[in-house]
Each structure stands twice: as C-alpha cells, then as structure tokens.
A and B are shown apart, each in its own frame.
Chain A
C-alpha cells in the first residue's frame, strides 16, 4: 500500500474516539439534567463538577484529533 494512502486511512481511524467522547458527553449532560430535575435546589452547586467532567471527557475525543493531526502533518 502507498504510504500516503495508509496515512489517510490511519488519520480516519484516529477519529473513532469521537464516538466514545460523544457517548460520554451525552451521559454527563443527561445524568446531570436527570439529577437537576429531581432536585433543582442542588443543581447549581453541582454545575462546576459537571463542567469539569465535560472538559475531562472532551479530552478523549481531542486526543484522537491530535493523533490524526500528528499522523497527517508530523511524519
């Protein structure tokens, strides 16, 4: 196989973590909303934790993006 073609396929495969990040973000926001509707008075206090979890989860998807960029541009 040509190296250029293999590189493009590799970069495409490196985008797969986006699926996991999407599931994770859905779980975080879904569960936060479920909890917030059950106990609205406790929602504001947990918003910071929710944002922290959002940033931590988003990172897994971005790591895939960085790997794709390294495959495409750094080699």
Chain B
C-alpha cells in the first residue's frame, strides 16, 4: 500500500540526491527504505478478476507456519517424562501462554488457549523471520519479508479477535453483554456520557490492535534500513569521511537489539490484549 514514488528525491539538496541515486545502482540491494515492503508475485494466479497470486508475503507466511509445525512435531514426538532440550522449549512456551490466559481470563479461559497460543506463536515467528538479513544478490521477490509489517495481515488478525469477542460475548451473556457499555453503579446522568465513550472505545479496539503491531514492525524496519543507508552513503564519501560510517553502523546494531526486544514484546502485547478483551466478553454480565 505504501510504495516509493519514483523521483521522490527530487527537490532535495543536489548532493544528497546524487548520493541517493548512487544507492539505486544494482551493486546495492534494495534502494530506499520502502522497497522492503513491496509485495511481489512469485507464482501469478488469478481467480476470475481477483488476483490471488502466491506472493513473497504468502511465501514467508508459509515458511513461518511450516517452521512452527515442524518445531512442535519434533518437540512432542518423543514426549519424555524428563524433557529433552526441544521439549523443554515447547513446554516453556506452552506454560508461558497458559499462565497468561489463566491469569487474565480465569476459569473460562481454557477454551481460548489454542487461539491465543496460535496467535502468539504466529506473530512471534513472523516478527523474528523478518529480522533475518536477505541473501546478497538474490532476486527482489525472494528477499526476507515481514508479513506483520502489512496492515492487511495485522488488521485481519485483530478483526478475528474482535469477532470472537463479540460472538462469544453474546453467546455466553445474551443481551447482558451490552452491560459492557453501561457499567452498573453510576449516577443516572453520567450514563449519557459513559455509554458513548465506552462504545467508541470498543469500536477503536480492532484499529488500535492492528495498527500497533503494523506500526511497530514498519517503523522498526524503516529505521534499520535508514541506518544501513547512512553507512553506505558515508562509505561512498571521499577520504577520511569514510571513518564516520562507524557511527551509524553502531546505531544500526543498537536498533537491531531493540528490534529483537520489540518483536517479542509486540507478540506478547497482542496476546495479552486479546486475553483482556476475551475476559471482558466472558465477564460482561458480572459488573
């Protein structure tokens, strides 16, 4: 959705412009911070008038899901009482999410464990796969791609969560689910203020849930690419200015460590917010 416009460097200072043009030469991989988000078809397919091509986004989603399935098959194939290395990792992950669900939703949470676990592992693996550097010289559509850096993916996940909340809320509480918007025990006049606020806050949940993950991934990858571009720009500078390239390089390493933290944190935040919203639906009639 966000694509670099050709000639966007026009109007900037001529020297910086020529440096950017220098980066567009084939010796450097993708030029511009936005090209890493381009969705390119690998196997073009059409269904009627709809484009359903197998893209690089699909490829990295398949790789992520494949890795997760392979890992859990390998980890649970032996099922020893005293777990080995792989089994320990799988058990730690399971225990981590199980505690999260138990603490936030309570007794009703058990049936949501598979959903929250799938969500958490998928986002975690997608975020971390995006941080792997691409193979130098490979074709653009085989560059490493972060599926969660596209709002359509994260927004679909957020909408799925909110749909489950609404359906489960009405199925469990009936019309009492609407008490979510009108908490009891307030002075009557205050309801005219509280109800619209609660409705707006509920409606903004899928947007904030989806945009949060998308914005974090997008911003992180743009900043990483920008710092890498500063390094190449300074290396192209004359004589001793080349030595200055160490500064953005150090910055890029630091940002990379921050991104390692953010990748895990955002998966955790997505999972815990899903749990909080599900807990709202499960206990709507109680308050």
**Taking beta carbons and an 8 Å cutoff, which residues of A are in contact with B?**
4, 48, 51-52, 54-56, 58-59, 62-63, 65-66, 69-70, 72-74
Contact = CB atoms under 8 A, between A and B. Distances in A.
Interface string B1-34: 1111100100100000000000000000000001
B219 A73 contact: no
Interface string B253-274: 0000000000001101100100
A52 to B, nearest CB: 6
A66 B4 contact: no
Interface in B185-223: 208, 211-212, 214-216, 218-219, 222
Given A51-B268, A65-B219, 15 more contacts: A4-B11, A54-B265, A55-B269, A56-B212, A59-B208, A59-B216, A62-B216, A63-B215, A66-B218, A69-B222, A70-B2, A72-B8, A73-B3, A73-B8, A73-B34
B269 A63 contact: no
A16 to B, nearest CB: 16
A58 B211 contact: no
Contact of A73 (B4, B211, B214): B4
Contacts, number: 48
Given A52-B272, A55-B269, A56-B269, A62 B215 contact: yes
* Majority SS at the chain A contact face: helix
Nearest to B1: A74
Nearest to B151: A66
B184 to A, nearest CB: 26
A39 B116 CA distance: 32
Contacts of B4: 73
